[in-house]
Amino acid sequence: MSVNERSAMPTNLQSRSQYLVLAEFSRRAIRALSNYADDGSSELPTDILQHTVDALQAVQQGDKYQFGQRPASALGSYEQLRTLEQVFRRPEEVGEAIALTTGLLKHEGVRDVTKVRKVINLFTELQAKALWNFEQPAPVPSPDLEELCRAFKTA
């Protein structure tokens, strides 16, 4: 293993761990929403839902990287936002997810189990995609290949 490969490894693992952060965030949301829907005594997890609405609105507006500037945000990395874009491939899907999640927040006192289940499905898709991205990371070109590509661009 070359020095370049050893120095690149922590960054790769560090960025891949962002997928696990998103999967864990989704898992917490699934658990909280499931408890809310099933037992009737839990409160709606408004903080998680609001973070989700904020992230989806940023993706919809094209301002995907504003969260990197907010250390307390739930979805703040390239990997996490990329996963959102992979789950919601069409712009309408993002709008539908925003409307569904915002609807839950606006009608906080009303228990609409059907809508809650739809939001649980949204988080389940995010969790599955985040775990898939962690397990199957995009190939990273070797430093030699990157150098070769730069040489061709300057020639």
* pLDDT tens-digit readout, 80-115: 878 888 888 887 888 888 898 898 888 767 778 888
Question: How much is the CA Rg of the chain, to the nearest whole Å?
Answer: 19
pLDDT value of position 7? 42
pLDDT value of position 2? 45
Q: What is the DSSP string of 56-108?
A: HHHHHHT-TTGGGG-TT-SS-SHHHHHHHHHH--SHHHHHHHHHHHHHHHHTT
Select the highest-mean-pLDDT range: 5-14, 82-91, 98-107, 125-134: 125-134
Lowest mean pLDDT among 10-14, 26-30, 146-150: 10-14
Q: Is residue 3 over pLDDT 60?
A: no
Which amino acid, one-letter code, is at 126?
A: L
For 120, half-sphere exposure in the C-beta direction (CA atoms, 13 angstrom radius) is: 16
pTM of the predicted structure, to 2 decimals:
0.68
Sign of the C-alpha dihedral computed for residues 81, 83, 84 and 86 taken in this order: positive
Summarised one tens digit per residue, pLDDT across range 24-67 is: 888 988 988 898 888 877 788 888 888 878 877 877 776 655 44
C-alpha–C-alpha distance, residues 10 and 28, integer Å: 27
Cβ-based burial of 135 (10 A; exposed 0-12, middle 13-18, buried ≥19): exposed
